[in-house]
Structure 1
Amino acid sequence: MVQHLTKKLLSGMTLPGIALAAMLGIAAVPAQANAATLRMAWSQDATGLDPHKQTAFSSLRLLELIYEPLVRLDANLQITPAIADSWQFSADGKELTFKLNPKAKFQNGAAVTSADVKASFERILDEKTSAAARANFLSIASIDTPDSATVVFHLSQPDVPILTAMSDINAAIVPASEIAAGSIGTTTIGSGPFKLEKWDPNSKEVLVANKDWAGGATGVDGIDISVLPDETAILAALRTKQVDFALLNDPLVATLVPKEASLQLNRVPVLAYHVLQLNPSRKPMTELKVRQAISCAIDRQEVLDTASLGEGKVTGPLTIPALATDPNQLFCYTRDVEKAKKLMAETGYADGFSASVIGATGEPPTAAAEAQVIQSQLAEIGVKLDIKMMELNVYVDAWLKGDFDMAIALNGGRADPYTMYNRYWTKAGNLQKVANYIDDTLDGLMQKGRTETDPAARKVIFGDFEKHITEMSPWIWLYTSYSYTAQQKNVGGFVPVPTGSLFSLAKVTLQQ
């Protein structure tokens, strides 16, 4: 019934606001009854609350409103202050010193101190934590805290991208007392702009403003977030003004927003990338020529056009505009089925093979469509692909274990290529069991890029990295897309950014 009525709403029919609100599970309040609370909706809920462990976009988007890292990236991907007021590298690049904002407080009223910073990074570096970004910080040899407002990271080698890595919410600063109590992930005590007052998994979150936030007053007193798995229902709620702001993932829905005179669509290219991950530890993907055949058999533009309405562009591994290689210069980015068949035959798989591909329902919403297009394309070289769609939390568990033949994934981009990829493509990378492939060339190029300070030289290094990894074909990079948010036109102050961050909700206002 809900789905049927939603389709009618999308075709232009309307329902009374209270009736729609009841059907969608949103509080039935008149529009702007409480102008200080932003009513928001998204389709995927957080899968957990530990900022050091979460990898799902849905979790990170929530946690970045509650926790803070030392620094953060602005809309131009430049480093700006967060918990830290200032920072400085030593002349030899092996010492990084931060001065903390004296106004920074956790949401329990305690000051953020250097002891909290040290404890947070020691937790990230502890293998038992299984921190998502651990590999970004392996150059940290020791941490000194000469006073409560000063933190000194001693590095085993110059580490150019470490500052960018520290801007990630996976490097959030959490209270040392909560680490000692073992309560990270069960309680949420950050220093960010909002406190998590209530979380009903897969239903709603209630955020209230942190009046002690060092970043100043928030633009609204709180954010009420409804989790509506059907994005057409989100659009319907926007149309009837039951929702002020929404995160959209499905381009099929997002492209309908500009047709609504009362709504505004925010659309920005992002660094995140859609990818077909192969598992090179499983036969026959252990064979280089089989992986290369798969790469040659896939028409990336067709995947983009079919799954995302062409909303994006074909990409290689590096999605940072200043460093990206022209895909036409990368291995087999022009589809060549005959070459693919020849490679299969040379490895003894002229008749193909059977495999499965996993995908998550809803993140991205294009996953099933991508899998179906790839299934059809690979069938032309004899690969029989069984598609297994999973709930997001089940998918994430399987993905982190590397328990798949192939996986459709949407992976986060970063402003620095080393920060973006070292956890997969270095020998010490903490997600090596997800990548299941490494060689000396990849590891060597990543290490060179880590220590090189000259921008032109780094571009050459990472250009070589792109060409090598696409030729080795452990993954098949597909395309980059857009971040979409939709809002009522009385919502002001939101700034979309290439990382997909929603952090600027901290300064959003509702105008009467």
Structure 2
Amino acid sequence: MKRFNVIVILVLIMISNLLLYGCDINNFSNEEEPKENIEEQPVDGGRIVLGIEGNINTINPILVSQEGEEKISNIVFKGLVKLDKELNVVPDLAESWAVSDDGLEWTFLLKDGPKWSDGSPITSKDVVFTFNQIFDKKSDSSVSQKFQNLASFKALDDSRIVFKLFQPDAFFLNELTVGIIPFHIFEGEEIEVEELKTLKLGNGPFKVSKWDTVLKEIILEKNEKYYDKIPYIDEIVFKIFPDKESQKSAFKAGEIDVVEIENEDSLLYQHMDNVKIYRFPNMYYEFIALNLKKNIFLFQDIRVRQALLYGIDRDKIQKDILSNKGIIVNSPVLPYSWAYNGNLESYPYDPKKALLLLQEAGWEFSEADGFLYNINPNTGRKIKFEFKLIVNEENNTRIQVAELIKQNLKELGIGVEVISKPWDEVKKHIEKKDFDAVFLAWKLDMTPDIQFAFHSNEINKGYNFVSYSNPDIDEISLAVRRTMDLKERKELLFKGQKIINNELPYLFLYTKDRILAVKSQINGISPGPNSFFEDIEYWWTTEGLEKTKKDTAG
């Protein structure tokens, strides 16, 4: 379900098949290169302690609604399909699938072998049960919105399931990463919602061994019945914290082994003893949303919006504020996506070109006060080019960027008042469309989707809060969802990006890296853009190495 995220990133859907940029995801370490010897090889054993924030009310994959819940759930529960490192959809519990010619019927064949952690086989009954619970209103499933196009589903036998859609939907397969839950432990019972909330029996590489609400920790142990790679690590302890700052303090105190940090903290952590730093691609981009309502004159002219982007020194932002740990973006598809159009206007910093465009749009420079002026056709009155840029006060990086933008645009004769407010207040401005410009980000999902933010039908009921309208984008965005042909979808997305890149309903800024600080005894981490828990079954620790030495000596 689309929802706002309290960490000040708007959470929504978008991207697929993301390619990792740079070799080894640009990660680096503050330790020496590993020496070639037997001790560098993965070994079994040991435990790692991880921190998560917020209350953990459930890890049931069809009920989770917070990032921390989802992190644990994804380790304990597996779905029909999963994403590989490049975010391609690949089989997980499913062996294969077939789609009818009309794109309405999807038939899945389950693998022969996967079991629940209690040893019971996973069958099509589990899949049907999962979707029955998703659609049961009593369950209040957090993923039900994703399956509104699902007309029916049924088991053909123990290993085959067929899904029927109302309309062809190229995004349907991506949604089937949702974890499957067990039918056999509920069979013959009237299911209570509380039972679903406290569900612990899973099918992933780790299983729940203890959930301590007093100590606020959840302990997972390796699942020896997991159908794929059995983990090296014996145990994962998740400690629950109220916020990110308390996690950082716990990491410094040696209480947890991994913590996600901000870019401005990376140098501090990089120089700590026995700490490695990993950088990996992010799945969101930052932008300035411009209010295009017809009664707001400032941003109506495309040339003005283009001038604003030419007038912002994004290279300086990337270099001085992001410390070169990010990528400039020019469209609503990230630069490392298979669907990214590389032949777009890059809008390099060019104040002269910006002034030329502003003059073409009727703005005249006043020597008296150094500002641009124009006649507002809505009122017939002369107005100064000035606007308010709203930024959430919790995000220091955005505030720094906003101040640099203010300085850049002042040189063009444009006045910008940077207003920082708590996120809850910023959200109200967005919902009421009560803003000139607002600094935001979209967090992206797996499949490139330009409909939710740019289709005109989304102006009143959806997330097109800038009131952008273009019939060509309306048509293209719907066609992207309907076509099952990847090549055709890519061509449509290229066209859509070209239009949006030219008309600029947003001032596209950048995507910045995510950063992990990791204690040096933890090895095998290979974070991807989807999660830094990628391949957690391949993580190993020198604690396990010491255990192996003792066992060998004994």
- TM-score normalised to the size of structure 2? 0.67
Aligned to 1:324: 340
Give distance in 1, aligned partners of 2:439 and 2:196: 27
Aligned to 2:355: 338
Determine whether 1:433 maps to 2:449. no
Question: Which of 279, 293, 298 is matched with 1:267 structurally?
Answer: 279
Paired AA for residue 288 in structure 1: Q
SS at match of 1:338: helix
Q: Deviations over 1:467-511 (max 9, x none)?
A: 222334333321122232222232122221122342423442222
SS at match of 1:416: coil
Give distance in 1, aligned partners of 2:73 and 2:506: 29
Give distance in 1, aligned partners of 2:504 and 2:137: 29
SS at match of 1:325: coil
Between 279-288 and 464-473, the greater mean CA deviation after superposition: 279-288
Determine whether 1:424 maps to 2:435. no
Paired AA for residue 181 in structure 1: E
The Cα of 1:72 is off from its aligned counterpart by: 1.0
The Cα of 1:453 is off from its aligned counterpart by: 4.8
Spell out the pairing of 1:353-392 with structure 2 (5 A cutoff).
Answer: 354-355=387-388, 357-359=390-392, 361=394, 366-377=397-408, 381-390=414-423
Unaligned runs of 5+ in 2: 1-44, 364-373, 544-554
Aligned to 1:466: 497
Determine whether 1:310 maps to 2:324. yes
Give distance in 2, aligned partners of 1:81 and 1:134: 22
Determine whether 1:195 maps to 2:228. no
Question: Which of 249, 260, 274 is matched with 1:247 structurally?
Answer: 260
Aligned to 2:99: 89
Give distance in 1, aligned partners of 2:127 and 2:141: 15
The Cα of 1:333 is off from its aligned counterpart by: 7.5
Name the Cα RMSD after superposition.
4.6
Between 96-105 and 172-181, the greater mean CA deviation after superposition: 172-181
Give distance in 2, aligned partners of 1:60 and 1:275: 26
Q: Deviations over 1:386-410 (max 9, x none)?
A: 11133xxx48975995776354434
Q: Deviations over 1:225-253 (max 9, x none)?
A: 3537466973x7656644322223x1122
Determine whether 1:222 maps to 2:255. no
Q: How many residues align?
A: 465
The Cα of 1:367 is off from its aligned counterpart by: 3.7
Between 443-452 and 398-407, the greater mean CA deviation after superposition: 398-407
- In structure 2, relative to structure 1, the CA distance for the partners of 1:491 and 1:372 (3 Å cut) is same
Aligned to 2:541: 510
Between 474-483 and 187-196, the greater mean CA deviation after superposition: 187-196
The Cα of 1:291 is off from its aligned counterpart by: 5.6
Spell out the pairing of 1:175-194 with structure 2 (5 A cutoff).
Answer: 181-183=192-194, 186-187=197-198, 189=200, 191-192=203-204, 193-194=206-207
Aligned to 2:79: 69
CA contact (8 A) 1:74 1:80 kept: yes
CA contact (8 A) 1:69 1:82 kept: yes
Give distance in 2, aligned partners of 1:431 and 1:194: 44
- In structure 2, relative to structure 1, the CA distance for the partners of 1:111 and 1:233 (3 Å cut) is closer
Between 496-505 and 306-315, the greater mean CA deviation after superposition: 496-505
SS at match of 2:162: strand
Give distance in 2, aligned partners of 1:396 and 1:92: 44
CA contact (8 A) 1:312 1:479 kept: yes
- TM-score normalised to the size of structure 1? 0.72
Between 293-302 and 131-140, the greater mean CA deviation after superposition: 131-140
SS at match of 2:422: strand
- In structure 2, relative to structure 1, the CA distance for the partners of 1:422 and 1:357 (3 Å cut) is same
Give distance in 2, aligned partners of 1:97 and 1:449: 22
- In structure 2, relative to structure 1, the CA distance for the partners of 1:301 and 1:48 (3 Å cut) is farther
Q: Deviations over 1:290-320 (max 9, x none)?
A: 7666545543333333442221110121114
Between 69-78 and 207-216, the greater mean CA deviation after superposition: 207-216
Paired AA for residue 381 in structure 1: I
SS at match of 1:329: coil
Give distance in 2, aligned partners of 1:67 and 1:372: 44
Paired AA for residue 254 in structure 1: S
CA contact (8 A) 2:456 2:464 kept: no
- In structure 2, relative to structure 1, the CA distance for the partners of 1:138 and 1:63 (3 Å cut) is same
Determine whether 1:154 maps to 2:164. yes
Give distance in 1, aligned partners of 2:218 and 2:181: 20
- In structure 2, relative to structure 1, the CA distance for the partners of 1:151 and 1:322 (3 Å cut) is same
Give distance in 2, aligned partners of 1:492 and 1:155: 43
Spell out the pairing of 1:120-139 with structure 2 (5 A cutoff).
Answer: 120-121=130-131, 137-139=147-149
CA contact (8 A) 2:392 2:426 kept: no
Give distance in 2, aligned partners of 1:131 and 1:297: 46
Between 179-188 and 83-92, the greater mean CA deviation after superposition: 179-188
Aligned to 1:144: 154
Aligned to 2:23: none
Give distance in 2, aligned partners of 1:402 and 1:197: 45
Aligned to 2:370: none
Give distance in 2, aligned partners of 1:292 and 1:331: 8
The Cα of 1:273 is off from its aligned counterpart by: 1.8
The Cα of 1:261 is off from its aligned counterpart by: 5.7
Give distance in 2, aligned partners of 1:106 and 1:430: 45
CA contact (8 A) 1:413 1:499 kept: no
Give distance in 2, aligned partners of 1:503 and 1:426: 34
Aligned to 1:4: none
CA contact (8 A) 2:306 2:354 kept: no
CA contact (8 A) 1:39 1:224 kept: yes
Determine whether 1:491 maps to 2:522. yes
- In structure 2, relative to structure 1, the CA distance for the partners of 1:285 and 1:210 (3 Å cut) is farther
Paired AA for residue 496 in structure 1: P
Spell out the pairing of 1:20-31 with structure 2 (5 A cutoff).
Answer: none
Give distance in 1, aligned partners of 2:56 and 2:388: 28
